[in-house]
């Protein structure tokens, strides 16, 4: 069954507010593609528990903050559907079935998973649930049968198992020939399209620590809701190792990643690159302020839109929006689940899910 418009599914984990990495890696694409695609944007609040099971208050607060960030950056709730993961039972059900189609070792070898275990300091004590989020993510995506998944580069490795599982499901339960082209699975009678990842303008924005990817959990992020003062302070702390204005600098350092990502005047970027490389009387401090100003200009309208959702009233508006959208999200997810169960000979009856 084909959808009227091709679909997009992507989302964020409520482990904090959204930052510049989200904007360049995924949000910018989401805003741009809202008309062309039927969009579903997911708040992975169940997955937030994989690393923060002891912090339900934080997860709830971040859930609301993330929706505020979405609205602030131009995601339109009239055109796109917000998906609150914990209220979509079809996701949890599909996760179980898909888990059977993913080899255990394949999950544990996933490079993003390994990297997260290291950078988040989870050591050997991570929960059984943590690696399960890889499978859960396949279900998050596939339950909406999307064709496109806009993500940052770090998440591409998670799209691959999702694509594999979709092919395997279609082959095993819908009788699709394994030689079929990825683009033809649905046409041939498969339940799931094989979704493609779409990386944003900057695949992996480095954090203000100059080392790791900018990340909510790593204390190296400039948030979309930060004030100019904060942006300037965080930019100021970016380490480059360069000490004098006449010292030739490396234009492939973290500072210049920011220059190229946020200063949109190409001539100015080229001029900064030339002066920096030549050590032509230009200090890091000056460039940092220029970058901070460019970022601030971009974020100012977002902060303004966000202001409409401050305080308890703002939270109430977000909760009402989430409730309204949950019904729409469940309608779409239930349709897929029933298609999948039918293919698996599990169609014992029908059910209607209502949410209020």
> Does 26 interact with ligand ATP (rule: CB under 6 A)?
yes
Instruction: Give the per-residue contact string, 150-189, with ligand ATP (x = CB under 6 A; - = no).
Output: -xx-xx----------------------------------
Cα within 13 Å of Cα(183), Cβ side: 0
What is the token pair recorded at 221?
């992020």
**Residue 50 or residue 170: which is nearer to ligand ATP going by CB?**
50
Look at residues 214, 296, 286, 210 and name the one whose alpha carbon lies nearest to residue 255: 210
95-121 burial, b at 16+ Cβ within 10 Å, e below that, comes to bebbbebbeeeebeebeebeebbeeee
Tokens 């698996």 map to which residue?
Answer: 344
Site for ligand ATP in 92-121 (CB under 6 A): none
**In the bound complex, what is the minimum distance in angstroms from residue 168's beta carbon to ligand ATP?**
24
The CA-to-CA distance between both ends of the chain, in Å, stands at 28
Residue 39 or 151 with smaller CB distance to ligand ATP: 151
Decide if residue 198 touches ligand ATP (CB under 6 A).
Answer: no
Does residue 73 interact with ligand ATP by CB under 6 A? no
Output 298 or 344, the one with its CB closest to ligand ATP: 298
Contacts with ligand ATP, 118-157, as mask; x by CB under 6 A: ---------------------------------xx-xx--
Instruction: Indicate the residue among 205 and 329 with the shorter CB distance to ligand ATP.
Output: 205
How far apart are alpha carbons 145 and 13 in whole angstroms?
A: 20
CB of 26 to ligand ATP, least distance (A): 4
Determine contact, residues 336/142, Cβ cutoff 8 Å: yes
Per CB under 6 A, 205 contacts ligand ATP: yes
Torsion of CA 70, 75, 81, 87, to 10 degrees: 0
In the list 204, 242, 275, 305, the residue contacting ligand ATP (rule: CB under 6 A) is: 204
Strands 7-12 and 38-43: parallel
Spatial CA neighbour of 20 closest among 190, 260, 249: 260
| Of residues 59 and 191, the one with the C-beta less far from ligand ATP | 59
Q: List the one residue from 167, 216, 232, 234 that touches ligand ATP (CB under 6 A).
A: 216
Backbone angles phi, psi at 174, to 5 degrees: -120, 5
DSSP 100-164: TTS-HHHHHT-HHHHHHHHHTT-TT---THHHHHHHHHHHHHHTT--SEEEE-GGGHHHHHHHHH
- Residue in 135, 123, 137, 120 with CA at minimum distance from that of residue 51: 120
Q: Nearer to ligand ATP by C-beta: 15 or 34?
A: 15
> Toward ligand ATP, which CB reaches closer, 58 or 273?
58
Our finding on whether 215 is near ligand ATP (CB under 6 A) is: yes
284 forms part of the interface with ligand ATP (CB under 6 A): no
Q: Is 213 a binder of ligand ATP (CB under 6 A)? A: yes
Q: Kindly tell me which of 119 and 338 has the beta carbon lying closer to ligand ATP.
A: 119
Q: How many Cβ atoms are within 10 Å of 217's Cβ, its own excluded?
A: 16
Span interacting with ligand ATP, options 21-29, 101-109, 163-171, 304-312, rule CB under 6 A: 21-29
Which of 45, 76, 5, 87 has its CA nearest to residue 327? 87
Burial class (CB in 10 A: 0-12, 13-18, 19+), 30: buried
Per CB under 6 A, 234 contacts ligand ATP: no
Q: Which of 7, 8, 9, 13 binds ligand ATP (CB under 6 A)?
A: 13
> Which residues here bind ligand ATP, judged by CB under 6 A?
12-13, 15, 21-22, 24-26, 151-152, 154-155, 204-205, 213-217
């Amino acid at each position: 069954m084909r959808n009227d418009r091709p679909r997009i599914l992507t989302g964020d984990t409520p482990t904090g507010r959204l930052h510049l990495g989200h904007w360049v890696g995924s949000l910018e694409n989401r805003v741009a593609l809202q008309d062309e695609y039927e969009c579903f944007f997911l708040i992975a609040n169940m997955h937030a528990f994989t690393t923060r099971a002891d912090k339900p208050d934080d997860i709830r607060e971040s859930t609301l903050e993330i929706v505020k960030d979405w609205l602030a950056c131009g995601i339109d709730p009239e055109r796109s559907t917000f998906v609150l993961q914990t209220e979509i039972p079809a996701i949890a059900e599909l996760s179980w079935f898909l888990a059977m189609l993913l080899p255990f070792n394949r999950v544990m070898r996933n490079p993003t998973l390994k990297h997260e275990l290291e950078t988040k300091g989870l050591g050997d004590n991570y929960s059984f649930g943590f690696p399960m989020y890889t499978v859960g993510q396949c279900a998050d995506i596939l339950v909406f049968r999307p064709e496109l998944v806009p993500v940052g580069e770090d998440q591409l490795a998670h799209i691959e198992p999702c694509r594999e599982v979709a092919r395997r499901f279609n082959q095993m339960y819908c009788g699709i020939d394994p030689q079929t082209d990825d683009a033809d699975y649905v046409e041939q009678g498969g339940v799931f399209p094989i979704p493609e990842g779409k990386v944003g303008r900057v695949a992996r924005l480095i954090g203000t620590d100059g080392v790791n990817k900018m990340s909510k959990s790593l204390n190296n992020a400039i948030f979309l809701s930060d004030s100019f003062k904060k942006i300037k302070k965080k930019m100021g702390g970016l380490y480059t190792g360069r000490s004098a204005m006449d010292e030739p600098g490396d234009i492939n350092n973290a500072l210049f990643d920011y220059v190229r990502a946020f200063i949109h005047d190409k001539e100015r970027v080229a001029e900064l690159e030339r002066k920096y490389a030549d050590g032509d009387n230009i200090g890091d401090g000056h460039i940092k302020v220029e970058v901070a100003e460019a970022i601030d200009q971009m974020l100012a309208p977002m902060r303004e839109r966000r202001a409409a959702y401050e305080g308890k009233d703002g939270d109430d508006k977000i909760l009402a929006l989430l409730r309204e959208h949950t019904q729409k999200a469940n309608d779409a997810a239930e349709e897929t689940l029933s298609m999948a169960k039918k293919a698996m000979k599990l169609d014992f009856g029908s059910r209607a899910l209502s949410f209020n």
